[in-house]
């Protein structure tokens, strides 16, 4: 009787430890973010903790947030989409080129780019799913080819749509924040609901965790793999359209600079809010956590190279924390059974 009681107490203790560890991990990035803000505020009392600085941070990263929200669909299904930069270039440069060179309304150009992105994601799905080529290889090749085609089509010069209604609409300020920022929050909310509170989200995570197990459970694994790559490409093109509206001017190869940032934010975000899963709010927090650090360092006098250091470090740390957290949860789960 005493042995049974002791065993039950041990399992309960292990279960509670697991719950505490998960909660600490879930919100540790928010604590780290607060500490980061405090440090830069003390170092830069006149320039960092200002409304202008924080609105600039919020407004400047809306395209990155949207791009990463698309990427987490592919990652959740176990696919690596390295073509997201090309999708962003497609959504940014093609509508701008159609507008300036052929007089096509920007929204029509965006619709054309989104349709092309859907077909591009479908192509990635066919090559990866139907022909069983690893998505890492497929998207690296297809993304390189697409960004080359975009550059060949529109040229390498900067294309501007400043003054167009799309530019005016997305940069309209409400409480100091762009319309694009509020739109991204709305999209993040929708994605959060889909991933966390619908069968679609649960099935997507099951596919990413184990395709054979998911298939035996009756889940249409291939359909989810196709869909994840198509959503990733489509939201990537939407991010490009948002970047075009925010800045008013883009170049054909603009998307190449966003790939590392998106992967770093996705993996770092998977350690927060809903640890162990690529999730919407973790992604949003991760993007702005990284940008806060980069902005603070640049205000301290560091050059532009610091962003590459920060993104690379965030990617490695995100993967490392996710791996260690998975091992810890496995140990605690083993102790509780």
**Whether pLDDT at 332 is above 80:** no
Average of per-residue pLDDT across 151-168: 93
Which range, of 45-49, 190-194, 227-231, 260-264, averages the lowest pLDDT?
45-49
Residue 167: pLDDT band with limits 50, 70, 90: very high
Phi, psi of 178 (to 5 degrees): -60, 155
**Whether pLDDT at 304 is above 80:** no
Q: Which of 269, 266, 260 is nearest to 312 (CA)?
A: 260
**Whether pLDDT at 12 is above 60:** no
3-state SS class at 60: helix
Average of per-residue pLDDT across 201-226: 95
Residue 334 C-alpha from the chain's centroid: 32
Q: Round to whole Å and give the CA distance between 287 and 312.
A: 13
**Whether pLDDT at 273 is above 90:** no
Residue 317: pLDDT band with limits 50, 70, 90: confident
Please give the structure tokens belonging to residue 134.
């690893």
pTM exceeds 0.95 for this model: no
Highest mean pLDDT of the ranges 6-10, 94-98, 295-299 = 94-98
Residue 25: pLDDT band with limits 50, 70, 90: low
The total number of structural domains that make up the chain: 1
- Is residue 253 within a helix (H) or strand (E), and if so which, with residue range? none
pLDDT score, position 20: 52
Q: Are β-strands 249-250 and 159-160 bridged in parallel, bridged antiparallel, or unpaired?
A: antiparallel
pLDDT score, position 308: 85
**Whether pLDDT at 5 is above 60:** no
Inter-helix orientation angle 280-299/306-335, to 10°: 140
- Long-range CB contacts for residues 50-54, cutoff 8 Å, separation at least 24: 51/176, 53/295, 53/299
pLDDT tens string 35-88: 999 999 999 988 998 999 999 999 999 999 999 999 999 999 999 999 999 999
**Whether pLDDT at 245 is above 90:** yes
**Whether pLDDT at 18 is above 60:** no
**Whether pLDDT at 169 is above 90:** yes
Radius of gyration over every alpha carbon of the chain, rounded to an integer in angstroms: 22
Which range, of 15-24, 46-55, 275-284, averages the lowest pLDDT?
15-24
Greatest Cα-to-Cα distance within the chain, rounded to the nearest angstrom: 84
- Is residue 250 within a helix (H) or strand (E), and if so which, with residue range? strand 249-250
Cα dist from 92 to 34, 86, 96, 231, 252, whole Å: 34, 10, 7, 17, 8
Hunting for tokens 């080819």 — which residue is that?
A: 145
**Whether pLDDT at 326 is above 90:** no
Q: Residue 113 belongs to what domain range?
A: 2-335
Look up the CATH number of the domain holding residue 239: 1.10.3470
pLDDT score, position 318: 79
3-state SS class at 252: coil
The better pLDDT of the pair 14, 282 is held by 282
Q: Return the DSSP state at 126.
A: I
Length of the chain: 337
Which range, of 47-56, 140-149, 324-333, averages the lowest pLDDT?
324-333
């Amino acid at each position: 009787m005493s042995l049974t009681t002791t065993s039950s107490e041990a399992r309960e203790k292990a279960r509670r430890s697991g719950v505490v560890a998960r909660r600490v991990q879930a919100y540790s990035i928010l604590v780290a973010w607060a500490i980061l803000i405090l440090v830069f505020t003390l170092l830069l009392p006149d320039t960092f903790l200002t409304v202008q600085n924080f609105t600039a941070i919020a407004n400047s990263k809306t395209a990155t947030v949207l791009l990463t929200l698309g990427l987490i669909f592919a990652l959740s299904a176990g696919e690596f989409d390295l073509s997201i930069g090309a999708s962003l270039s497609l959504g940014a440069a093609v509508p701008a080129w159609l507008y300036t060179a052929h007089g096509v309304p920007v929204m029509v150009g965006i619709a054309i780019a989104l349709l092309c992105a859907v077909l591009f994601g479908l192509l990635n799905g066919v090559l990866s799913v139907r022909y069983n080529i690893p998505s890492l290889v497929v998207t690296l090749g297809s993304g390189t080819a697409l960004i080359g085609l975009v550059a060949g089509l529109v040229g390498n010069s900067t294309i501007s749509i400043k003054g167009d209604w799309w530019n005016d609409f997305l940069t309209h300020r409400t409480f100091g924040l762009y319309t694009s920022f509020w739109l991204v929050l709305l999209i993040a909310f929708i994605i959060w609901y889909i991933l966390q509170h619908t069968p679609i989200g649960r099935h997507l995570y099951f596919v990413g965790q184990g395709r054979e197990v998911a298939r035996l459970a009756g889940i249409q694994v291939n359909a989810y793999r196709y869909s994840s790559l198509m959503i990733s490409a489509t939201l990537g093109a939407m991010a490009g359209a948002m970047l075009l509206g925010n800045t008013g001017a883009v170049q054909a190869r603009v998307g190449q600079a966003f790939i590392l940032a998106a992967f770093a934010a996705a993996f770092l975000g998977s350690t927060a809010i809903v640890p162990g899963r690529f999730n919407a709010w973790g992604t949003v927090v991760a993007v702005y956590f990284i940008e806060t650090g980069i902005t603070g360092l640049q205000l301290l006098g560091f050059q532009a190279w610091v962003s590459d250091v920060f993104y690379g470090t965030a990617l490695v740390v995100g993967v490392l924390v996710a791996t260690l957290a998975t091992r810890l949860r496995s140990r605690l789960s083993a102790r509780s059974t």
